[in-house]
Structure 1
């Protein structure tokens, strides 16, 4: 019983942490955008991925949101 409770608590904490990290990732991307030199195509992709990450976050799909935001950060060289 104790092991089950610990596993459940760990899952809830990690989900909560991801849910609340999406906004920090979006802020980091927003801060980097003005100083980076990318092609128009690459910049468009970054902005699309950032918007997708925000939408997924709002829908409660935090794992998918973090994946989209990570791809945007990769394109930004972060």
Structure 2
């Protein structure tokens, strides 16, 4: 019972942290798209699509999924 309580408390505390992380990731992606976009149009479209999906997940309250999708977009930008 004690472990369950600690787990639930950690989950409640971490949810707002993910929520604050999403806008920061979106801003980083937007800045890189504006200042140094990928030269490959396929990669550019993938990044834009993942960025939009991440924002939709964030707005739906699915912050951990949003962080994951936005991380994929950032990884594509770093590879470029």
Report what 2:26 is aligned to.
Answer: 26
Q: Give the structure-1-normalised TM-score.
A: 0.85
How many positions carry a matched residue from both structures? 78
Please report the RMSD computed on the Cα atoms of aligned residues, expressed in angstroms. 1.7
Aligned partners of 1:2 and 1:67: how far apart in 2?
A: 30
Report what 1:52 is aligned to.
Answer: 53
Aligned partners of 1:38 and 1:71: how far apart in 2?
A: 18
Q: Give the structure-2-normalised TM-score.
A: 0.83
* Unaligned 5+ runs, structure 2: none
Report what 1:37 is aligned to.
Answer: 38
Aligned partners of 1:50 and 1:27: how far apart in 2?
A: 10
